[in-house]
């Protein structure tokens, strides 16, 4: 699914947070939204998911306007927010069934899809355990499985590895990349961690509300005359 952001600007009171941000993501593939803390990544995700109202600009998802056709556009999106949104006292399966019901899935279909996703994330044997018993990495996997229940075309992940150890971060990142390959899923992965981004990824570098670079990682490095993405990121933002 193609997603197009057109001249998005947003402010909190008198403080501008996003400044005429425009980009187009083509169907399928892993796209990295890279920026230091405070760059505006979470605000952009808030606008893409309608947690925040668009003030200026628009977003088109498969040609459908988020302003004019919000329900149709949102049906195509799965979201994993930075803050954990699972009910810790419910079981893994109960969390999935509750979410599926919000999307209008029958209990039978929800159970089937939920078990399928849990099996892909190697968590099916823990389906009846309370989420509270899972470690941080496994909770994140449950959140992604839940976000995929209604079979979206676009998966948005806002700093999904916050609080995880290095091995869990790498495992989660690798798994989402495999979903792109196996399902043709379009992914927008927001992060401030350069090690989660690969040179061949489509990379959007956001800093102080402005989109400073957009393209394949190695192409951005070549354009900036830098050795790698870490140097590019530091050169453009002063971070890293």
- Grouping H, G, I as helix, E, B as strand and the rest as coil, residue 14 is coil
Predicted pLDDT of residue 240: 63
Average pLDDT over residues 212-231: 96
Q: What is the per-residue pLDDT across 168-189, written as a single tens digit (0 to 9) for each?
A: 999 999 999 999 988 889 999 9
91-124 confidence digits (pLDDT tens): 999 999 999 998 999 999 999 999 999 999 999 9
pLDDT digits (tens, 9 = 90+) for 42-61: 999 999 999 999 999 999 98
Q: Scanning the structure block, which residue is given the tokens 């947003």?
A: 10
Place of tokens 């998966």: 155
pLDDT score, position 40: 96
If you ran DSSP here, which 8-state letter would residue 171 be given? Answer: H
Mean of pLDDT values over 196-215: 97
pTM: 0.93
Nearest residue to 223 (alpha-carbon basis) of 211, 236, 210: 236
Cα 102 to Cα 117: distance, rounded to the nearest angstrom: 17
pLDDT digits (tens, 9 = 90+) for 120-161: 999 999 999 999 999 999 999 999 999 999 999 999 999 999
DSSP string, 68-122: T-HHHHHTTEEEE-SS--S-TTSBHHHHHHHHHHHTT--HHHHHHHHHHHHHHTT
Please tell me the distance from the alpha carbon of residue 206 to that of residue 120, in angstroms, as a whole number.
Answer: 32
Instruction: For residue 234, give the H/E element and its range.
Output: helix 229-237
All domains of the chain in start order, with CATH: 3-76+153-237 (3.40.50.300), 86-151 (no CATH)
Cα(129)–Cα(149) distance, integer angstroms:
19
């Amino acid at each position: 699914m193609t997603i197009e952001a057109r001249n998005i600007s947003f402010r909190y009171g008198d403080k501008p947070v996003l400044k005429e941000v425009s980009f187009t993501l083509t169907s399928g593939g892993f796209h990295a939204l890279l920026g230091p803390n405070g760059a505006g990544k979470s605000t952009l995700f808030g606008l893409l998911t309608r947690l925040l109202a668009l003030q200026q600009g628009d977003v088109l998802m498969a040609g459908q306007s988020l302003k004019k056709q919000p329900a149709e556009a949102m049906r195509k999106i799965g979201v994993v927010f930075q803050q954990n949104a699972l009910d810790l006292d419910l079981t893994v399966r109960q969390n999935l069934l509750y979410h599926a019901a919000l999307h209008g899935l029958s209990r039978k279909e929800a159970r089937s899809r939920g078990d399928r996703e849990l099996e892909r994330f190697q968590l099916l044997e823990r389906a009846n355990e309370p989420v509270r018993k899972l470690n941080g990495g496994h909770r994140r996997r449950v959140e992604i499985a839940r976000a995929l229940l209604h079979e979206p075309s676009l998966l948005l992940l806002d700093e999904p590895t916050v609080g995880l150890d290095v091995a869990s971060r790498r495992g989660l990142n690798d798994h989402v990349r495999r979903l792109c390959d196996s399902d043709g899923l379009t992914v927008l992965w927001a992060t401030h961690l350069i090690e989660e981004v690969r040179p061949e990824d489509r990379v959007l570098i956001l800093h102080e509300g402005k989109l400073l670079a957009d393209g394949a990682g190695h192409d951005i490095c070549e354009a900036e005359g830098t050795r790698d993405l870490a140097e590019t990121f530091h050169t453009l933002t002063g971070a890293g």
